[in-house]
Structure 1
Amino acid sequence: MVQAVEAPDSIVDVISTDTCSFMHCAGKLKVLDHQWIQVIFQPPELTVGAMDFQYGGESEVKLQITYIDEKIRLGKGSRGSLFVFRRRHGGSTNV
């Protein structure tokens, strides 16, 4: 999984394997306070073989940023999910 955060408020999550990308979610990020952010995602775009289609509707997630520095970001979802992101070249992060 790769997550690209682009200033000021865009975020893109891509789930893929070494050979293909199969889910792409774009969303808008909103800072709620000094620890919490909210992301509202557009319907995910799925790729299966040569077919591309959207699946489902908008979704929303709230994340607590528990630690962040130049190399790593630790987060916790509002339902208890844990996330570890490390910075890659170009500012993208991945899980």
Structure 2
Amino acid sequence: MIQVVEAPDTVRNKVSFSAFGFLNGEVSLKGKLIALDEKWIQVIFEAPELKVGGLEFQYGGESEVKLQITYVDEKVRLGKGSRGSLFVFQRR
């Protein structure tokens, strides 16, 4: 998974996968980041885009997530989702 945060408020997530060992694909999300306070953010995502082999299409609808940023420095960002999920992101 790759996450890119672009100034001022765009978030892009991409998950790459391989099905059956030969069918490559990816799921991409683009969202708008909203700072709720000094620790919590909300991201409202557009419908996901799915690419499998040569096919490309959008499916579903908007979704949103609230995250608490528990730690951040120049290399690592730790977060906790509003439902208890834990996230670790490493800067490249």
TM-score in terms of structure 1 length: 0.88
Whole-angstrom distance in 2 between the partners of 1:17 and 1:79:
25
The RMSD of aligned alpha carbons is: 1.4
Query: Is 1:79 the counterpart of 2:83 in the alignment?
Result: yes
Query: Is 1:61 the counterpart of 2:73 in the alignment?
Result: no
Q: Within 5 A, what are the aligned runs for 1:1-95? A: 1-17=1-17, 20-88=24-92
Whole-angstrom distance in 1 between the partners of 2:35 and 2:84:
19
Q: Identity of counterpart residues, as a percentage?
A: 65
**How many residues get paired?**
88
Name the one with the larger strand percent.
Answer: 2
Whole-angstrom distance in 1 between the partners of 2:75 and 2:45:
25
**Does structure 2 retain, via aligned residues, the 8 Å contact 1:14–1:21?**
no
- Match of 1:40, SS state, is strand
**Does structure 1 retain, via aligned residues, the 8 Å contact 2:24–2:52?**
no
Larger Rg: 2
The answer for unaligned runs of 5 or more in structure 2 is none
Between 1 and 2, higher relative CO (CA 8 Å, sep ≥ 6) is seen in 1
Distance 1:21 1:8, change over 3 A: farther
Runs of at least 4 residues off by over 4 Å: 18-21
The one-letter code matched in structure 2 to 1:8 is P
Partner of 1:93: none
Whole-angstrom distance in 2 between the partners of 1:13 and 1:56:
16
